[in-house]
Structure 1
Amino acid sequence: MRWTQAISTMALCFATGSLAELWDRDIWAVGRRIGGDGGSEFQMVAEAGSVVKKIRVYKWPAGQKTSLKGIQLTFSDDTTQSAGALDGASQDYTFDDGELINTMTLWGNGVGKRTGRIHFTTSTGKTFDHGQNTDGQGDFPMEIGSGILIGFSGRAGKEIDSLAPVFIKKLTNRPVIDVLHLDDFDRNGGLKLETVSTKEGLWGGKPYTLTFAGTETATISKTVTKELSNSFAVGVTVTGSIPILGGPELSVSTQWTITKTQMESKTETRSKALTWSIDSVINGPEDEVSCTAEVWSGRIENLRWTGEVVLNTGDREYKLPTSGYLTVVDVSKVIATCARLNPGPVSTVQPPFSTIATSSGFTTVTRTSETIPGSSSTTLPSAQPGTHPDCAKFHKVIAGDTCHSIAQDAGITLEEFYTLNKKVTIEIECDNLYRGYDVCTGLRA
């Protein structure tokens, strides 16, 4: 049966703080005003961090004036602004998350004194078109910058005298959320060891080499969501110090680590192969082994973070404070071990120390017997060499034990376990753990 586990799922919620000030004018891309000089000046522009979420346009009833009557904007922070008269025939358009404007065109009222019609298309293939019949009139394509609409400016009284859109300038790259700080969290929280596969190597009368190997499929997904609906939430690149359990270049760990990484704001799903391979020589019944392939999996939910939304127009870099919550689901690389089922006297064709290597860098070592210097006895000493001299708590190593599992059962960190047992590592992590010996798990009070 194929083992499938959702891993590396990162759900990132973010909300820009209410700054009570408009977007900096240096980042505005303002279209040409279409209409005349009547009415009063107005400016409807979102506060920094917000964009236009909904637009409602009013026009005079058929047979009356040939201009737009009013316009109402709802921003992604749920504030509303309007200009002109909000009555007559209206039409709405609500933008999807991350939806951008591809083109926008305005028309006058035929005599150069009012705005008569507005038309735009979006990145989702949709169209908005409302206003008077402008057949035979000149159209005025607008400058749309990045396609992120943040408002309109113009003049209005009882109708729209003139109108121009306000966009964010064209960006040199996609917006970036830089996670600068994470609240403290339990580095061991939510972690558990899960079995991927098992296999036994039994004696059948002839020496042979057991190969415990396999490939299982894990589904990896990363998702960024957000609290406020705006164009900086979809398609944004998220960078910064993100907790992960393991990665292609990282050692397996039972603790969450914080690493500089990056992810996409949209949902990404792909398959990842989890592989392992161990060879064990079976020369007799005493060499029979039980092999296990395991992974550490875990979940962190609603971890608060603070950071910045970074917009780069080429002329300048614009940074907007932001914060939110991070949810991470991850799985480590495979930890594969083989432990002897029937320890016995030293085989005449084996050295007194039998090492069973793993693909992950974590090694279970079985010491079958040892001759103590100055003695003809082959009894096993109780404490493994290298244990702390003040040790008061011990654990006797049994088949299947790893440094990780012993530390976890004892309620100590892996680093503390290594400090208490200086010689459990020689060349690679946990490559010198002897079954039947006592290892230290705690000091005298």
Structure 2
Amino acid sequence: MNQTIEKNSLSDCDIELQKQLTQANLLASVLQKVRSTLDLEHILKTIVEEVRAFLQTDRVVVFQVFSDGTSKATAESVGEPWRSIFEEVFPSESFPPSCYEGYLKGKIVLMHDRDQYPMIDCMYKIYEDFQIRAKLAVPIIVGDLLWGLVLAHHCSEPRHWEEWEVSFMRQLARQLEIPLEQAELFRRLQEELEERKKIEAELRVLTAKLERSNVELESFAYVSSHDLQEPLRKIQAFGDRLKSRSGNNLDEKSQDYLQRMLSASNRAQLLIENLLTFSRVTTKKQPFSLVSLREIVDGVLSDLEVRIEKVGATVEIGELPTISADPPQMRQLFQNLIGNALKFSREGVPPVVTVKTKIEGDRAIIEIADNGIGFDEQYRDRIFEVFQRLHGRTEYEGSGIGLSICRKIVERHKGTIIPYSQPDCGATFVINLPLTQPEPEA
């Protein structure tokens, strides 16, 4: 008799031990699946099948609850002959706020027998329709929101859910929180990426339109400026003839009018030439090639030799690199900046201009500095705008377009140009250019 009792006790212990091992292995298997894949549908489908087999129940469901109160079975394992509820959508009435709040606080719902469980009529009808006699419902909480429930249904008869089954389902729900949180983060990332792609696509369209508009505007400026030169040349030519043939016979006021006309036409000629130069930066550009900046600067100094001697300037040139660039545009860039350094000098102070370079990685940092009149840095953007001047024409000659050309050239070369200055303390223009251009222009 005692031997029989001992055998039964051992048998019960073996069964309990086997049950605990199976439970531990199943939870470990869930964790392994979570770590090995981001395929949420596959994870949930596999889990509900394994859990139903382990609990030996009729249906296991992962239920998702939505913000509008509706809910849906997103994964299911169901035995014969019981009705499937996979992807069934349930109205908000079946999941009232009181249920939501309870589950959000971690409440676990045990229903051992439908006929002995108090519930509202609509819920009883749902249980009847889907043949649910007993239920174990454990919440799945992701972050601070109720994502849904993991449910075990017994359909054939009432069932008393044991404590170990409740503990197992609680642990299972906690492990399900991991892939569900990953899926939610992935969904948000996908939405952000899609939104970013949409914005980038719109930006590309707008950029292409802007580029076409700029090209059309620059072409118009080039053609218009070119066409304006011919009538302007005639005004200058006939003005010069009138001055040479009849200038001495004109009264003083008429001579003043004639001189004003010639001066205005000369300024207009300079303005048109500068407009043509500005438009040529993109309309008459040359392919990039290796350019010795030292040779470029030497050529510029040769062109400016007379002016340098006239103002008694000193120009100091440091080491200059060879870069990939448009040669005529590099010449124009240095011509404008060094020319400005000579032009905007302080009265009674011989100009000193320095040009030096340092290499930082794959870029050349070029500094062109002077000891001239300088300017207030609040105007550092304005000086690059077309036709903007900080001084009147009577003080300093020019059209107000030279620095606009400089910035346009630098931008075409994928660089930057930044001025630093203070009034009466000179100015320094720092130009940052790539040593090589990454790819040919379109």
Work out which structure has the larger RCO, using CA pairs closer than 8 Å and 6 or more positions apart in sequence: 1
For the pair shown, which has the larger CA radius of gyration, 1 or 2?
Answer: 2
Flag the structure with higher strand content: 1
Both structures adopt the same fold (TM-score exceeding 0.5)? no
**TM-score with structure 2 setting the length:** 0.26
TM-score (norm 1): 0.26
